[in-house]
Amino acid sequence: MTHHLKKKLLSNSIEEKDKYVKAVFSLIVENESGVLSRVIGLLSGRGYNIESLTVAPVNKDEKKSRINILTSGTPMVINQIKEQLSRQVPVYHVVNLCEQNSYVARELALIKVVSKGNERTEALNLADAFRAQVVDASIDSLVFELTGKTEKINAFVDLLRPLGLVELSRTGIAAIGRGCRTIY
């Protein structure tokens, strides 16, 4: 446990102890069937919330996958999530990136807009401003691809809602620490 978290845990101020904080966990796990269910089952079984989750193999030779989990809770709960994940047999490493100095987190969204005329032009203008790509188009529909911070995607999506947004597909975040440090 980091000194920072310990100070928060032992703090007498009720506000500090009971305040919800964000956590971004990156896990390196054995790439085997059932491991993802074990991780998700653990979180839901113990009543922790999952805001987003991504998973993909990162080293096929060593059969390792990386799972990124965005969650929140009191400092005590965040610490429990980390320890509970760490003790799982097929889990190699668990790091809460929020405890590190800084990290980069990005997600990808595919957004379908059905509109014509001014609304369609306006959507294309906004896409330009947000640097979103048009990856599919028909006479009355567009599919945008946008990569970026969650907040940026939220903003873009909110702007497109009145302009004919009909369907949305988001990946949840992939995250990595800044600098030369790695999580293993």
Residues that bind another protein (CB under 8 A): 1, 9-10, 29-30, 33-34, 37-38, 41-42, 45, 76, 79-80, 83-84, 86-87, 89-92
Q: Nearest distance from residue 175's CB to another protein, in Å?
A: 21
Residue 43 vs 127, nearer CB to another protein: 43
Phi (first) and psi of residue 147, to 5 degrees: -115, 140
Is residue 81 within 8 A of residue 48, CB to CB? The reply is yes
Residue 47 vs 117, nearer CB to another protein: 47
Cα gap 120→68, rounded to integer Å: 35
In 3D, which of 26, 69, 47 has the Cα closest to residue 181?
26
Q: Nearest distance from residue 62's CB to another protein, in Å?
A: 9
Residue 29 vs 95, nearer CB to another protein: 29
Residue 92 vs 130, nearer CB to another protein: 92
Cα gap 124→142, rounded to integer Å: 9
Q: Nearest distance from residue 79's CB to another protein, in Å?
A: 6
Q: Nearest distance from residue 137's CB to another protein, in Å?
A: 40
In 3D, which of 79, 69, 77, 70 has the Cα closest to residue 4?
79
Cα gap 84→46, rounded to integer Å: 10
